[in-house]
Amino acid sequence: MAGLAAIKADPAGAVIGLDFDGTLAPIVPDPADARVDPHAASALVRLGGLVGAVVLVTGRPAATAIAYGAVPGGPGLADVPGLVVLGQYGLERWEAGQVTSPPPPPGVDRVRAELPGLLAALGLTLTGGEEPGVTIEDKGRALAVHTRRAADPEAALRALREPLAKLAAESGMQVEPGRLVLELRPAGMDKGHALSAFLAERGARSVLFAGDDLGDLAAFEAVRLSGLPGVTVCSASLEVAALAQRADLIVDGPAGVAALLSALAGALSGP
């Protein structure tokens, strides 16, 4: 309640931080089909003009989050005033239509080359369509292996954990677990580091962060360690319980996040 009160009392000092998949966009079998909840986009357009900053902190490439944040016939994420997207866990930055990022890490080429053979050796079918199997999502600076479409998603995830951890270690990468996904990404950056740096950059006086998956735990911890009045929000699902145990507020998936953002925008713009 102290965090919400601080945001309402001093909106110009508030940073509203959000994950993308599972928070602003529903989780779908094919990651390429993910799209922002239109109600969430509309609420963020309102909030962007009322708070100090709105920042997306996501494992997606920053430009992809913007593209998947478009809403046909309505305002999308690109229309949020002053929006900043910290993509690839903070390695990329989208702001005012421009993306800045460092070169891809050298280990990502090895991971890209070896992943198909590793999956075949494990007896896992690689699919890019509707048929059962596992899918590889190439993010440029990271690669994610999704098991949601496998015949037995949990068994496939278990089979992948040790081999992917070994490949990551040999390639100078690290493994980020998620909702039926294991992502191999560069070491040294996570959502907590990215959010902490952004709060310092903006001189934030309060913060709200909403997420849905294990990768968002670092951002929750950044809120706690910031010393600012803060609110952590879990976009709840049956697949991840750890985040809900650490959250100040629990809402029902992306629709619940959209409702919360809309209510917050109404509270800040009201009398």
> Which tokens belong to 127?
């699919």
Distance, in Å, from the CA atom of 6 to the CA atom of 58, rounded to the nearest integer, reads 25
Contact 57, 90 (CB under 8 A): yes
Whether 77 contacts 69, CB under 8 Å? yes
* 143-146 and 135-138 beta bridge pairing: antiparallel
Q: Which is nearest to 21 in space by CA: 183, 186, 223, 221? A: 183
Q: What are phi and psi of 203, to 5 degrees?
A: 60, 45
What CA–CA distance (Å, rounded) separates 76 from 42? 7
| Rounded CA separation 40/67 (Å) | 15
Distance of CA 99 to the CA centre of its chain: 17
User: What is the CA angle 199-67-80, rounded to 5?
Assistant: 45
Closest CA to 149 of 122, 176, 128, 118: 128
The two tokens of residue 48 are 């962007």
Q: In 3-state terms, what secondary structure has residue 186? A: strand
The catalytically annotated residue of 19, 21, 190, 216 is 19
**Is 19 among the catalytic positions?**
yes
Which of 255, 248, 258, 257 lies closest to 5, judged by CA? Answer: 248
* Torsional class of 140: left (φ above 0), alpha (ψ -120 to 50), beta (otherwise): left
Q: Which residues are catalytic?
A: 19
